[in-house]
Amino acid sequence: MSSFAAQKPVSLPVRRGVPAVEVRNLRKEFRRRDRRAGRFARRRMAALGGVTFTIERGECVAILGQNGSGKSTLVRLLSTLLINDGGEARIFGHDAFHDTRVIRQLVNRVSVEASFFKKMSASENLSYAARFYGMPPSKTRTEIPRILGAVGFPADRRREPMENLSRGMQQKVALARALLTSPVLLLLDEPTTGLDPRSKLEVQDFIRDVRATHDATILLCTHDMAEAETLADRIGLLDRGELLFLEPAADVKRRYGVETLEQAFFAATGRVFAEEDHADDEYRDVFG
């Protein structure tokens, strides 16, 4: 596999001597309709209920959680797509809710949905995304083929509309889009969900390669425990908006006296990881 190291270092406003991510008592609530209380009644539901953690530069941290646990809300808060209701988040020392322009230069994201203009080709979609980060045509002409090659995207399909590509191919282009802008913080929100086993392994290999060759800090949100354990230095468990722990997998198992992360989840929550009850449906409906 090609390496990402060929990318030229870009001058980014990264402060030295501060954590890559510093989150303190971060809260986010959403209002939703409450039919039982009346036609126009609304009630507040906490998506994140006071989360605190730190990620050091170069670290890969995985946040585990079921659907609706608040993982995507956390990623959206860190990528300036949501405004918090309390607490604070700093990325390389910059306030995530006030220094948004700086944060946007530092962060990029890969989400579960590939999200592209379906009629446009991979090259066109990447070109459009790159312009927003100030990359002129003279640079994208060489960078786009290079980065697509690095993620294993076939050269002869670069000009095909995205709608003709498989989900695995689209996710490779999504990774290429995120890496093209040389982010120092990469937010991966269930990047392998819905992929076939082969594509999943390929994407996981890319993530390892990015860590090895690219100066990036990675926050990986997933509900795949094996993926978290194999990729991350530390593993956190987000359950109904609360971060129950964040430590190396071995420490988690030792703390709960168990052999697997599934057992640790059960020990921490009293529920089986795959079990999603009615209350979880309500969370999933609101927080995605």
Partner 1 sequence: MTAIGATLRQELIGLGGIVERNVYLTKRYLLWDIAFMVWTIANTLTIVFIARAVHLPAAQENTLATKLLVGAVIWAFLGIIFEFVTETVAWERWEGTIEYTFMAPLSRSTHLFGMGTYAVLYGLIRATILFFAVAAFIGIHLPDANFGAALALLGIASVSFIGIGMMTSVLPLVSPEKGAQLGFVAQGMMLAVSGVYYPVSVMPGWMQAIAKISPATYALRGDRASIVNGAGLAWADVWPLLVIAVVAIPLGLMIFKRGERYAKKHGKLKRSG
Considering only 9, 17, 38, 136, the residue that binds partner 1 (CB under 8 A) is 136
In Å, how far from its chain's centre is CA 179?
Answer: 13
Q: How far apart are CA 74 and CA 188, in angstroms?
A: 11
Binding mask of the shown chain, residues 95 to 124, with x at each position contacting partner 1 by CB under 8 A: ------xx-xx-xxx-x-xxxxxxxx---x
42/208 with CB nearer partner 1:
42
Residues 160-189 that bind partner 1 (CB under 8 A): 161, 177
92/265 with CB nearer partner 1:
92
- The token duo for 271 is 């529920």
Q: Are 226 and 76 in contact (CB under 8 A)?
A: no
Query: Interface with partner 1 includes 129 (CB under 8 A)?
Result: yes
Stretch that binds partner 1, among 19-27, 80-88, 144-152, 213-221 (CB under 8 A): 80-88
Query: Interface with partner 1 includes 267 (CB under 8 A)?
Result: no
Query: Interface with partner 1 includes 80 (CB under 8 A)?
Result: yes
**What number of chain residues touch partner 1 (CB under 8 A)?**
39
Q: How far apart are CA 65 and CA 243, in angstroms?
A: 9
Query: Interface with partner 1 includes 232 (CB under 8 A)?
Result: no
Identity at 12, one-letter amino acid code: L
Shortest distance, position 192 Cβ to partner 1, whole Å: 18
Q: How far apart are CA 102 and CA 96, in angstroms?
A: 9
Residue by residue, DSSP assigns 16-78 as TTS-SEEEEEEEEEEEEE-GGG-TT-EEEEEEEEEEEEEE-TT-EEEEE--TTSSHHHHHHHH
Query: In the complex, which residues of this chain contact partner 1 (CB under 8 A)?
Result: 30-31, 73, 76, 79-83, 101-102, 104-105, 107-109, 111, 113-120, 124, 127-136, 161, 177, 288
